[in-house]
Amino acid sequence: MLVTTKTEEILQKQRCFFQTGKTRAIDFRREALKTLKHLLIADREKILLALKQDFNKSNFESIETELLFCTRQIDYTLKNLKSWIKPDKVPASLFQLPASARIVAEPLGIILIIGAWNYPVQLTLSPLISAIAAGNCAIIKPSEITSRTSVAIAHLIGQAFPSEYITVIEGGKDIVRDLIAHKFDRIFFTGSSRVGQIIMEAAAKHLTPVTLELGGKSPCIIEPDIDLDITARRVAWGKFLNCGQTCIAPDYVLIHRSIKTAFLKKIQEKIEQFYGSDPERSPDYAKIVNDFHFQRLLSAIEPQKVVIGGKSNAETRYIAPTVMDGVTWDDRIMEEEIFGPILPVLEYEDLEAAIAQINARPKPLALYLFTNKKKTRERVLQATSSGNVCLNDTLMQIVSEHLPFGGVGESGMGTSHGKIGFNTFSHQKSILQRSFWLDLPLRYPPYTEIKAKFFNFFLR
């Protein structure tokens, strides 16, 4: 195939460039990161326009969740890169003495990054920043669903780096299939669990390690002892940001029956405060990315259970911020991750029963809990498993470079961000150095009874 031949040519050029050792030099890595930051800022108007065209993202939202996220990560990486690269000296064991031991972070080689469409800049360039910091070459495949942003990313990377170092390959499913058929040193994929399985199956043929950032139905538990006004504001923001197309958005609310009615009233107030009485006219409210997802979301709405929103416009791919009440665990909306501006509300009386319902389903990427009680926090944290947790807020756990980000079980594999992201694209190579001046015969044959007694002494 022509595509396969082209891909192999690019890979061969990158392997040759990587073997020169240039990417290992700290000054080379730092300059690459500085160049990427400079062009992100210089090209921001083009990027903002592309995001606006792809799904009506407001400039504020695009800067906040896409550009600023990346530039802050670059700044943090530049600040800490020297310490990350420095070999980590560790003690040698008694049986190794005299010796010294250290761990060296070694670049893996050629990285394949397959980006996602919902935050097409952040979710493509954030892993690239970590890959550059670790000293690798990379091939980037942006999502074809956000086609204008894909072009903008290709233009930016083409300006910044030679193709033998970092290159962008655009295209659809055929390109992905071709890329994953080749051998890489790590694949970093962000997207659905279904595609994640395909990526992992293909990678297994080459024993290629993978990082999979997937998703799932992230629950939001709301206890009665909270500040209802702030809780409603933070839930509404986290759910309807980017028109609900966020992998860690609160997928559904589990709320104590005693405050459900008050919560519904409050969240309606917050939606109107954010987007006005007609969100379709709001400059701050995005649209659904394409017709497929628009129809998928519409089919999940049960009109008789809609208490807020529910309006839509196929021409503009608009779906209003929508809240559904009276939802049960058997409803269609609860079958899979929503990934859109629809918030099902389920009520409970007993927290243990709510926890049991969460645990009966695949482990989510995120879990949210609103409560002021330490005992409740400890119980939920101990009883549930999720990729990450945010207490008394939504989405903010992803902001810190000190917190690793990733899923567990069906919601993902591996972690990223900060030093953890650097480690993801590095091999932690163990190095032991021994001296010639002492070479005790204890470990060498013949294995006498005296030698056996010596080693048996340490079994106590």
Confidence band (pLDDT; 50, 70, 90) for 203?
Answer: very high
Query: What class, spelled out in words, does domain 219-406 have in CATH?
Result: alpha beta
Give the global pTM: 0.95
How many angstroms separate the Cα of 319 from the Cα of each of 212, 232, 243, 265, 270? 29, 20, 8, 20, 17
Collapse the DSSP code of 31 into the 3-class scheme (helix H, G, I; strand E, B; otherwise coil) and give the result. helix
Split at pLDDT 50, 70, 90, the class of 372 is very high
189 vs 2, more confident? 189
- State mean pLDDT over 451-456: 87
Q: Tell me if domain 2-214+410-429 and domain 219-406 are identical in fold.
A: no
Tell me which of 106-110, 136-140, 401-405 is least confident.
401-405
Identify the pLDDT of residue 235.
98
- Per-residue confidence (pLDDT) for residue 4, from 0 to 100: 58
Average pLDDT over residues 104-128: 97
pLDDT of residue 1: 37
Task: Kindly indicate the confidence band of residue 39, based on its pLDDT and cuts at 50, 70 and 90.
Answer: very high
Which pLDDT band, with edges at 50, 70 and 90, does 260 fall under? very high
The backbone torsions φ and ψ at residue 52, rounded to the nearest 5 degrees and listed phi first, read: -65, -45
Mean predicted confidence (pLDDT) in 77-90: 96
Percent of the chain with pLDDT over 70: 99
CB 196 within 8 A of CB 180: no
Distances (CA, A) of 2 to 6, 114, 151, 175: 6, 21, 22, 11
Hey, what amino acid is at 264? L
State yes or no: pLDDT of 223 exceeds 80: yes
247 classed as catalytic: yes
Q: Is the pLDDT of residue 131 over 80?
A: yes
Q: Whose CA is closest to 227, among 201, 200, 259? A: 259
Q: Band the pLDDT of 36: cuts 50, 70, 90.
A: very high
Question: Which residues lie below 8 Å from residue 116, measured CB to CB, with a gap of 6+?
Answer: 123, 124, 143, 190, 191, 213, 247
SS percent in the chain: helix, strand, coil, step 5: 50, 20, 35
CA–CA separation, 37 and 31 (whole Å): 10
- Tell me phi and psi for residue 351, to 5 degrees: -60, -35
pLDDT in tens, 322-342: 999 999 999 999 999 999 999
Catalytic residue among 223, 247, 347, 390: 247
Write b or e for each residue in 31-62: b if 16 or more Cβ atoms lie within 10 A of its Cβ, otherwise e: ebbeebbebbeebbeebbebbbebbbbbbebb
For range 231-254, the mean pLDDT:
98
| Confidence check: pLDDT of 352 > 80 | yes
Predicted confidence at residue 3, as pLDDT, reads 45
CATH assignment of 2-214+410-429? 3.40.605.10
Q: Is 66 a catalytic residue?
A: no
Q: Tens of pLDDT along 278-314? A: 999 999 999 999 999 999 999 999 999 999 999 999 9
Domain ranges of the chain: 2-214+410-429, 219-406
Active-site pick, 61, 66, 137, 213: 213
Mean pLDDT, range 267-288, rounded to an integer: 97
- Sheet with 137-141: strands ordered across: 166-168, 137-141, 110-114, 186-190, 210-213, 412-413
Cβ neighbours for 223, distance < 8 A, ≥ 6 positions apart = 256, 351, 369, 370, 371, 372, 373, 376
Beta bridge partners of 186: 111
Q: How confident is the model at residue 441 (pLDDT cuts 50, 70, 90)?
A: confident
- Residue 257's CB: how many other CB atoms inside 10 A? 11
Provide the CB-side half-sphere exposure for 255 (13 A, CA): 25
Tokens read off for 170: 């655009």
Average pLDDT, the chain: 95
One-letter amino acid for residue 38 of the chain: H
- Residue 2 pLDDT: 40
